[in-house]
Amino acid sequence: ASLTINASTLGNPVSATLHGAFFEEISHAGDGGLYAELIQNRGFEDATIPQGNTLEDGFLIPKRTPHFDMRNGGVSDWKLPWNVTSDYPGWYPVTGKNGGLTLSLSINHPLNTATPHNLKITISKPGMLAGVANTGYWGMNIIRGDTYLLSFYLWTDGSYGGEVKAALYSKDSAILGSHSFLTGRKAGWVKYSCTITAKKMDSHAHLVLSFSKKGTIYLDFVSLFPRNTYKNRPNGLRKDLAQYIANLHPAFIRWPGGCYVEGMNIQSAFDWKNTIGPIEKRPETYSPWGYWSTNGFGFDEYLRFCEDIGAKGLFVANVGVSCEMRSGTFIPDDSLQSYIQNALDAIEYATGSITSKWGNLRAHNGHPKPYPLEYIELGNEQSGPRYARRYNWFYNAIHTKYPNIHIIASMGLGDVNHYTLDSMQHVQIADEHAYKAAFWAMSNYNHFDKYRRDGYKVYVGEYATNGGVGRGNMNATLSDAVYILSMEHNGDLVSMSSYAPLLANVHDEDWPVNLINFDASKSYARISYYMIQMMAKSRADVNLKSKLLLQQDALKKRSIFDGGVGFATWDTQAEYKDLEVIQDGKTVYRSDFLNRPNEWAKVRGTWDIQDSALAETASGAQTLAYLKGRSFDTYTLNVKARKLSGT
């Protein structure tokens, strides 16, 4: 076989912004993940379900950390079902010899309106130990020599005076580091803070606050942060996870969702204004994925991360619609103005001058310079005439005020809907979502070829092969790779893409296949991560006209790029072998996986060579081009396949 590339005929250019990233608060991607806070349920808000939601929806069953009991030597049961409820998840009473205390969730003496709940602690017998423990998110990763910043608020009526000891314990109850405070006799809320440097390490550690005197006190907003965060930012990000994202060099980051933007219902939907300012004053958001998000990884933290890694911001605004799979409520059109204003305010907050209202608040919150926000998406997975109508209103308001912001239309869970497009006045970019089964990409290599061209671009805002691939395997990666090649092939149309979901805590996976998996101390990226990294790093600039000649069993040469193949049915046991790239007469690459019987050809059953072989050989050729910097003379592909019928 031979491949001829005609370098003098340039085809579609490949978009420089093709590879981005998409962050959503799903599977504890943020809280208990990228956001480095170690305390779970720090504000004691994670117990109730927001008004208007019901427990009947499976997604709404509160997820709970496993039971933790100090007396039994730490975390005692990691296998409790997630629907175990507690009034104060993440927190447990701990008592040593003769110690006695009771805990209850309270709404007395709210610290502020954003964190109305707190924990009432009545110490009846201080004994050897009487206190409360927090398990973190399935354990805390405490590293020897690292420093941790602890803060919490205590309310007393002024009569309580005693010692409060904060200690980090290992799973088997060894003290890793501690600090003691003396409470003054001041009535009301008092903030306590300290640093603790760990003398030992444990990846399943927990924090215990214990009290030396009898009495009643209230506890709220307990925060424990490693000082060592990504780029040492306060209220920052877990280093290993942030580094994974940074190493993808995404052109942009889409945030914060996904269904998360839409909310279970309109009342509990995400609002960026709840995610800025002091962390204890940020109201939490009830995620459609069944837990409360602290909003600690808020608008500033997200945009600063974009800035830190050289990515552009892509903010998704709610357009007055809640998640279609749940309540699917569209607020009435005549109540939309506040949503339009909210989207405009978000852009002003991120990019406005410090003399503007929201730009000034950004400066006040520590970032006078504008952030690199360049895109706004209107809604998530909405489509149809109702959505199209409100898209037009949002579009006009935003485009008039911010002509340089790129505006993205959402497109439902699936392909670009031309019917919806036709009802929109102007579409710059349309976001299609593509969760597909294994090998879909191979038999649909021409998916984007069929799209009409009339000026709009496509953003594949969420894609992943997640059917028939377990939790993600090589077949998933090959399919993802071919899908990306089809985007490149249609570079005149497809300008952006982002894999989804990006992050998942292995203790609470809401989605079958995720790009980066982690627990409290460890993390790994799947093969697709490395494939996307490779594709982004060696992204082609332009498509070149090429011609592939295949040598088949009867040594007949056929060009499949030029459509000279005709139709034929091939044995399911077809396999590719010995893929080799020759440059200046020398072998510069010999494939690994194609040297083995080709598993992914085998499982697909009978196929039509005109579609499938085109996709596969094109992917093989282009993948090699990436591997070797696109500089090669010829490659040899020996195909062993048994023709069953056809021409």
- Hey, which residues between 11 and 30 contact ligand AHR (CB under 6 A)? 24, 26
In terms of CB distance, is 134 or 498 closer to ligand AHR?
Answer: 498
Task: Give me the least distance between CB of 205 and ligand AHR, in Å please.
Answer: 31
3-state secondary structure of 130: strand
Task: Give me the least distance between CB of 380 and ligand AHR, in Å please.
Answer: 5
Task: Give me the least distance between CB of 257 and ligand AHR, in Å please.
Answer: 5
CA distance 295 to 556: 63
Q: Which residue has the tokens 């079958």?
A: 512
Q: From the list 511, 533, 549, 634, which residue makes contact with ligand AHR (rule: CB under 6 A)?
A: 511
Task: Give me the least distance between CB of 325 and ligand AHR, in Å please.
Answer: 8
Beta-carbon count within 10 A of 357 CB = 10
Task: Give me the least distance between CB of 309 and ligand AHR, in Å please.
Answer: 21
Q: From the list 74, 256, 257, 491, which residue makes contact with ligand AHR (rule: CB under 6 A)?
A: 257
| Contact range with ligand AHR by CB under 6 A, out of 255-263, 273-281, 552-560, 625-633 | 255-263
CA distance 154 to 175: 23
Outline where 500-586 has alpha helix (H).
Answer: 527-537
Beta-carbon count within 10 A of 232 CB = 9
Task: Give me the least distance between CB of 55 and ligand AHR, in Å please.
Answer: 21
CA distance 639 to 602: 14
- Applying CB under 6 A, does 202 fall inside the site for ligand AHR? no
- Applying CB under 6 A, does 259 fall inside the site for ligand AHR? yes
Task: Give me the least distance between CB of 466 and ligand AHR, in Å please.
Answer: 9
- Applying CB under 6 A, does 298 fall inside the site for ligand AHR? no
Task: Give me the least distance between CB of 23 and ligand AHR, in Å please.
Answer: 10
In order of 127, 163, 222, the CA distances from 213 in angstroms are 9, 7, 20
Task: Give me the least distance between CB of 94 and ligand AHR, in Å please.
Answer: 37
Task: Give me the least distance between CB of 288 and ligand AHR, in Å please.
Answer: 7
- Applying CB under 6 A, does 300 fall inside the site for ligand AHR? no
- Applying CB under 6 A, does 500 fall inside the site for ligand AHR? yes
In terms of CB distance, is 92 or 499 closer to ligand AHR?
Answer: 499
Q: Give the x/- contact pattern for ligand AHR in 406-445, rule: CB under 6 A.
A: -------x-------------------x------------
| Helix (H) or strand (E) segment spanning residue 349 | helix 337-351
User: Residue of minimal CB distance from ligand AHR?
Assistant: 258
Q: Which residue has the tokens 């927990």?
A: 206
- Applying CB under 6 A, does 136 fall inside the site for ligand AHR? no
CB 37 within 8 A of CB 298: no
Residue length, the chain? 647
| Contact range with ligand AHR by CB under 6 A, out of 86-94, 253-261, 337-345, 603-611 | 253-261
Q: From the list 420, 501, 539, 552, which residue makes contact with ligand AHR (rule: CB under 6 A)?
A: 501
- Hey, which residues between 356 and 385 contact ligand AHR (CB under 6 A)? 380-381
| Contact range with ligand AHR by CB under 6 A, out of 214-222, 229-237, 252-260, 583-591 | 252-260
CA distance 348 to 370: 9
CB 138 within 8 A of CB 519: yes
- Applying CB under 6 A, does 462 fall inside the site for ligand AHR? yes
CA distance 405 to 375: 6
| Helix 474-489 / helix 527-537 crossing angle, nearest 10 deg | 30
CA distance 151 to 207: 12
Closest C-alpha among 511, 473, 621, 542 to residue 18: 542
Cα torsion 624, 626, 632, 634 to 10°: value is 30
Phi-psi region of 258 (alpha: psi -120 to 50; beta: other; left: phi over 0): left
Q: Which residues pair with 24 in a beta bridge?
A: none
- Applying CB under 6 A, does 330 fall inside the site for ligand AHR? no
Binding site for ligand AHR (CB under 6 A): 24, 26, 257-259, 380-381, 413, 433, 462, 500-501, 511
